[in-house]
Amino acid sequence: MPLWLFVFLAALAVLAALGVVLQRNPVHCLMALVVVLLDLAVMFIGLGAVTVGFLQAIVYVGAIMVLFLFVIWLLNLQTEERRVAGSIGLRFFGAVGAAALVAELCVFVVKAPSTAGLSHVPPTFGSIGAIAEALFTDYLIAFEATSLLLLVAVIGAVALARRATASRTRSPVPVSPAVHEQIGARQ
């Protein structure tokens, strides 16, 4: 990746990150966060980590951000935007956390070990093809079982969220007359 492109992407990421913090409308914050994450994905791809870049886009932008949007939408957070900004404790701890992070990053930049001693991985390392090969050979069972896990989650969600009507029963009482009579229970 040429340096000018990296500088451009880095500046864009910082600007968008500031947008996440400084805007008041939670949906706008979220959109700025999407820009940050997509920006990072492009950087990953530019640095050769193609799979990580795609996963960044799919997992963070595709799944997690949509989840955030749903939560904001469900809780209707827009009406509470002013109150959140005023909390002193939140600002204090936010500032402390940010300062700690900056300090940590500075230490890492100053004390970064030289890359000379590291061994080189083959160019296919971490490529989508290599990951697919691992998934469909060594981890085949885990992969297939995961698909069943997702199916279970879908069935479970539908079973719980389905409207609680006496669907699929012909009579208004969800018990067959014979059983109902014998049970003699209050409905």
Binding site for another protein (CB under 8 A): 124, 127, 129, 132-133, 136-142, 145-146, 148-149, 151-153, 155-160, 162, 164, 166-171, 174-176, 179, 182-187
Q: Minimum distance between the CB of residue 121 and another protein, rounded to whole angstroms?
A: 15
Compute the distance between CA of residue 153 and CA of residue 145 in angstroms, rounded to an integer.
12
Q: Which is nearer to another protein, 12 or 135 (CB)?
A: 135
What is the four-CA torsion angle of 60, 62, 68, 72, rounded to 10 degrees? 150
Q: Minimum distance between the CB of residue 72 and another protein, rounded to whole angstroms?
A: 21
Asked whether the beta carbons of 128 and 50 are under 8 A apart, the reply is yes
Q: Which of 29, 36, 109 is nearest to 71 (CA)?
A: 29
Q: Which of 5, 59, 68 is nearest to 31 (CA)?
A: 68
Q: Which is nearer to another protein, 79 or 187 (CB)?
A: 187
Q: Which of 53, 7, 14 is nearest to 35 (CA)?
A: 14
Q: Minimum distance between the CB of residue 28 and another protein, rounded to whole angstroms?
A: 31
Q: Which is nearer to another protein, 6 or 136 (CB)?
A: 136
Q: Which is nearer to another protein, 80 or 138 (CB)?
A: 138
Q: Which is nearer to another protein, 109 or 178 (CB)?
A: 178
Q: Minimum distance between the CB of residue 39 and another protein, rounded to whole angstroms?
A: 28
Q: Minimum distance between the CB of residue 75 and another protein, rounded to whole angstroms?
A: 18
- Name, in order, each residue with C-beta under 8 angstroms of 61's C-beta and a sequence gap of 6 or more: 34, 37, 38, 41
